[in-house]
Amino acid sequence: MSNILEVSNLTKTYSSGTKSLTVLSDISFSIQSGDKLSIVGSSGSGKTTLLGLCAGLDRATSGSVILNGISLDNLNEDERAYVRNQHVGFVFQNFQLLPTLTALENIMVPMELRREKGIKKRALELLDRVGLGERHDHYPTQLSGGEQQRISIARAFSNNPEILFADEPTGNLDEETSEKIEHLLFELNRESGTTLVLVTHDLDLARKTDRIIRLKGGMVQHGTDELVAENG
């Protein structure tokens, strides 16, 4: 099985005047297609920064990211946006739904950007799949946190992504709702054969993936990039 993501010697440094702050230092790992990987670490360890670099949301100071065979290193923002739109799905902690659009319209947006046909039918199917077909005309403010995250997940799968990046997808949800969202995310991921990269502070959630990378101070804690028993 081929690697869908290859990260080599990735470093990210922010500069302000004469000062610089290295958020990530010399990170290297790879993920095979269909695998589930968790990135864990305390607040400020660089988890979200690493996720953003892997997904092409930001550019590294040095090092290399190859996503689905495409080197992101020298692409401009428009080119990276095209790669994301074609190959990547996102689920965020704060849902990032557009407040002026209905649940259905939020799911349709990425498909409209790709100028696909039959998008309303596809969006309705996705809404049904996440159990919210009856709420298609509701706006985000009319939905609970768990329902908003279900919409976010449906939107993430709208382009049949090769790889899904999820940043603390249960971070704003209560325990019972979190379990339902976890189950839905893993179930859809399994059905679609999508690779999953999950940032979380929840070790119980992380242990449901095939592999865990632990970050501390912007560096991988060596010896802890480990295979774990898959139980979810």
- Per the structure block, which two tokens stand in for 152? 């976010």
pLDDT greater than 90 at residue 225: no
226 pLDDT higher than 50: no
Assign 230 a pLDDT band (cuts: 50, 70, 90).
very low
The pLDDT score that the predictor gives to residue 229 is: 33
Assess if residue 21 is contained within a domain. Answer: no
Judged on CB neighbours under 10 Å (0-12, 13-18, 19+), 146 is middle
- Report if residue 141 sits inside a domain: yes
pLDDT in tens, 93-119: 888 899 999 999 999 988 888 788 889
In which domain, by residue range, is 163 found? 33-52+87-227
Q: What span, in angstroms and rounded, lies between the C-alpha atoms of 61 and 154? A: 33
Pairing of strands 226-227, 211-216: antiparallel
In a domain, residue 13? The reply is no
Q: Is the pLDDT of residue 231 over 80?
A: no
Compute CA distances 113 → 31, 99, 184, 213, 220, whole Å: 28, 18, 26, 33, 36
pLDDT at 121 over 70: yes
* Count of domains for the chain: 1
Looking up residue 44, the CATH number of its domain turns out to be 3.40.50.300
Is residue 77, in this structure, part of any structural domain at all?
no
Give me the percent of the chain exceeding a pLDDT of 90: 61
CA 169/CA 1 separation, integer angstroms: 27
This prediction has a pTM of 0.88
Residue 20 is assigned to a structural domain of this protein: no
- Is 17 contained in some domain? no
pLDDT score, position 2: 86
Residue 135 placed within a domain = yes
Q: pLDDT band at residue 222, thresholds of 50, 70 and 90?
A: low
Domain-embedded: residue 62: no
7-22: per-residue pLDDT in tens?
A: 999 999 998 888 888 9
Confidence of residue 123 (pLDDT cuts 50, 70, 90): very high
What local confidence, expressed as pLDDT, does residue 17 receive?
80
**pLDDT 10s digits, 124-166:** 999 999 999 899 999 999 999 999 999 999 999 988 899 999 9
Mean pLDDT of 78-105: 92
d(C-alpha 48, C-alpha 36), whole Å: 17
What is the predicted pLDDT for the residue at 228? Answer: 39
Above 60 in pLDDT, residue 223? no
For residues 222 and 123, the model is more confident at: 123
Task: Return the pLDDT at 202.
Answer: 85
Would you state the pLDDT for residue 127? 92
- In this structure, the number of other CB atoms found within 10 A of the CB of residue 76 comes to 9
* End-to-end CA, the chain: 22
